[in-house]
């Protein structure tokens, strides 16, 4: 699953997702591993969507879409020199409750990634993922 696929999935559901957390963990932190599949386990009750397959067993994914602290860590992983902003509030009932931005620290403070969601951690995670995609696109364009 690509980062773009992860973003698309999270945008469609607007819900925290342990399986997506496993894909994000493997994409950014544990690149040598992969999210576990139900077939990797001995029994049907052993599988958890947040499991990551390693040569020595299974690891648990970071809860990026569930926990704001983990989402902040992802922001730092994507752009260590950036600042993140998280705002809560809405003007109408059909708007998302949270808005998040990842911004460069410079005079212009350009926005690297931004997102809205009804879940704070998910908004920050989406902003970080969008910032990552933007960075990768800029690298490809410059190459």
pLDDT value at position 44?
A: 66
97-122 tens-digit pLDDT: 999 999 988 766 689 999 999 999 99
Higher pLDDT, 69 or 143: 69
Tokens of 32: 């040598």
Strands (E), the chain: 34-35, 51-54, 57-60, 83-88, 98-103, 111-117
pLDDT value at position 46?
A: 76
Tell me the average pLDDT across 18-39.
93
CATH architecture of the domain 3-142 equals 2-Layer Sandwich (3.30)
40-56 tens-digit pLDDT: 887 666 788 899 999 98
pTM for the model stands at 0.89
């Amino acid at each position: 699953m690509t980062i773009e696929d992860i973003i698309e999935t999270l945008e469609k559901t607007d819900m925290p997702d342990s399986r997506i957390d496993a894909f994000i963990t493997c994409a950014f932190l544990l690149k040598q591993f992969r999210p576990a599949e139900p077939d990797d386990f001995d029994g049907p009750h052993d599988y958890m969507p947040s499991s990551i397959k390693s040569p020595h067993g299974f690891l648990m994914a970071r809860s990026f879409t569930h926990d704001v602290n983990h989402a902040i860590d992802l922001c730092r992983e994507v752009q260590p020199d950036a600042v993140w902003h998280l705002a809560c509030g809405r003007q109408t009932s059909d708007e998302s409750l949270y808005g998040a931005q990842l911004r460069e620290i410079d005079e212009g403070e350009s926005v690297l990634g931004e997102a809205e969601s009804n879940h704070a951690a998910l908004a920050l995670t989406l902003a970080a993922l969008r910032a990552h995609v933007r960075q990768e696109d800029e690298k490809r364009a410059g190459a």
